[in-house]
Amino acid sequence: MTDRYCVFGNPIKHSKSPQIHAEFAHQTQQALEYTAEEAPLDGFAGAWRAFVDAGGRGANVTVPFKSDAFALCDTLSHRARRAEAVNTLIVGGNGRTYGDTTDGIGLVRDLAYHRVGVAGKRILVVGAGGAVRGILEPLLAEQPSEVVVVNRTAAKAEQLAHDFADLGAISGGGFDTLSGQFDIVINGTSASLSGDLPPLPDGLFAPHAWAYDMMYGAEPTVFLHWAGPRGAKLLDGLGMLVEQAAESFFLWRNVRPETAPVREMLRQSLNYL
């Protein structure tokens, strides 16, 4: 019997998740079907229930439904409770819904794949939305010297820093509070999708620093365009996408796929970094 999985989003036609999971399934010889499902903006819970009633075993969840997924779960992982968001749903043997988030693991594993060390490094995270909340626990677990969160609305960054202060050295504020240089600068805003650049100062990057945009596209993002001439080495979020998908696949199937060939396949389709 072929088990059914999907990714929920709105819009969702652009998603590369079906392609990624088809490769994982072929690689690991798992009998599964993975589709992209566009849920109504006000009807995510109903779409999930209908999918389960039709035999669905699990799903990924992307924008704008990660908070909706969090709300409907019967059981949550520790990291999902921290993130207050879910990107991976699993139907348990008792029919109950278990929720987890793999976004932060995806980021940390992507950095490791590119041999970008986090321990002891000073890290700037731009943005204070759900995407950033999902990466802070795994990032702090790598023991950076400091994580600084900045946001246009300073209070949101300050609140995030307060919420995660028990896990390590973290502070938050507005862009006007930025000082010093950083070893890794992570753009966790959706500004790249609209071609906007956060108001970041020059002189932000330490020698040999990395600029990481959690977004990706057919061209370098506006953030990466800005960071390159200022001396940073560049990474986009394509590897994070593959790594978070691999963790979801492992949670569903208890087998861990190889990510390198899937990364290469997707990178060739974009072919700019």
Cα-based distances in Å from 169 to 129, 164, 212, 240: 19, 9, 20, 24
The response to whether 151 counts as a known ligand-binding position is yes
Q: Is 66 a catalytic residue?
A: yes
Confidence at residue 219, expressed as pLDDT on a 0 to 100 scale: 85
pLDDT digits (tens, 9 = 90+) for 204-229: 999 999 999 999 888 889 999 999 99
Query: Is 60 annotated for ligand binding?
Result: no
Tokens of 247: 């963790």
Residue 1 in marked binding region: no
More confident residue, 192 or 114: 114
Which of 13, 66, 121, 233 is catalytic? The answer is 66
For 152-208, write each residue's pLDDT tens digit: 999 999 999 999 999 999 999 999 999 999 999 999 998 877 788 999 999 999 999
Provide the pLDDT confidence category of residue 271 given band limits of 50, 70 and 90.
low
CA 87 to chain centre: 9
Per the annotation, does 254 bind a ligand? no
Q: How many angstroms separate the CA atoms of 175 and 194, rounded?
A: 20
How many other C-beta atoms can be found within 10 angstroms of the C-beta atom of residue 145?
13
* Ordered domains of the chain (ranges, CATH): 3-100+239-271 (3.40.50.10860), 104-235 (3.40.50.720)
- Which residues have CB under 8 Å from 34's CB, separation 6+? 4, 5, 6, 7, 17, 18, 21, 22, 25
Integer Rg of the chain from CA: 18
Residue 166: enclosing H or E segment and its boundaries? Answer: none
3-state helix, strand, coil in the chain (%, to 5): 40, 25, 35
- How many other CB atoms sit within 10 Å of the CB of residue 14? 8
Is 191 annotated to bind a ligand? Reply is no
- 3 state DSSP class of 269: helix
pTM as predicted: 0.94
SS3 state at 2: coil
Q: Is the pLDDT of residue 272 over 60?
A: no
